[in-house]
Amino acid sequence: MTWLRLDDGFCEHPKVDALSAEAFKLHVAGLCYCARNLTDGRIPELAALRLTATARRKHLTELVESGLWRQVSDGYTIKNFLEFNPSKADVNRERELARERQRKARASRRDNSVSHAAPSRPDPSPTKEVSSISDSTRAVDNSTEDERVAAALDIVAAQRVAQVANVRSKPALTRTILANLRAEEALDVEAVRLLHDYPELTAAQLASCLNGDTTLLLHMRKAAP
């Protein structure tokens, strides 16, 4: 899953503000399409009118005439898309780096578990069952490694589901998001590391940190005794 980047003045831009409601919706849907499919701002002709249920040819024309979109031989391109969003090459490179970090982290944990293995002893208290976002944060340090990863992913998935309006089936959407997170192989280790280093993180704060917001962690480090 990728994220679309819009600056906070997006809606007030003269070209955007002048759009009709349907053209505005089509423009936003087009931006999401490009980010989701890593097209570097290109939208095929056949996909353009399927971006929204109410899109019509006149709305595509409106976007082209506004200067926000450009018509090309095989469809359309959204102007300046790559000025605000990473290219396909950049995203794939970051994903590969994340996968490599994860492979190294897992290998390191395996090596440490072998070299520092201690005799097992029964735990007098059962592992706390994770039943909610807040429970996940509190219980993550007392669970097994697989459960720690699952708890972290549940937090991120729940946060993303909450950001989607008009969800027909939250369980189905949650399963899809979790599948995408697993496929990315980028958030597992990082989420667990953040929860371990900053157990007081809320679900919203964790999601923000995973999306690259370093300001919160900087303040937390300064506040630490």
Chain region(s) in the chain for CATH 1.10.10.10: 10-84
Q: From CA 221, how far away is CA 200, in angstroms rounded?
A: 12
| pLDDT at residue 159, as a whole number | 75
| pLDDT at residue 141, as a whole number | 45
| pLDDT at residue 69, as a whole number | 97
The CATH class, in words, for 10-84 is mainly alpha
> Around Cβ 192, how many Cβ atoms within 10 Å?
20
| Spans of the chain below 70 pLDDT | 1, 113-150, 165, 167, 181-189, 192, 212, 222-225
| pLDDT at residue 197, as a whole number | 75
pLDDT one-digit tens code per residue, 57-102: 999 999 999 999 999 998 999 999 999 898 999 888 888 888 888 8
| pLDDT at residue 1, as a whole number | 64
Q: Is 167 helix (H, G, I), strand (E, B) or coil?
A: coil
| pLDDT at residue 207, as a whole number | 76
| pLDDT at residue 133, as a whole number | 44
Q: From CA 20, how far away is CA 170, in angstroms rounded?
A: 31
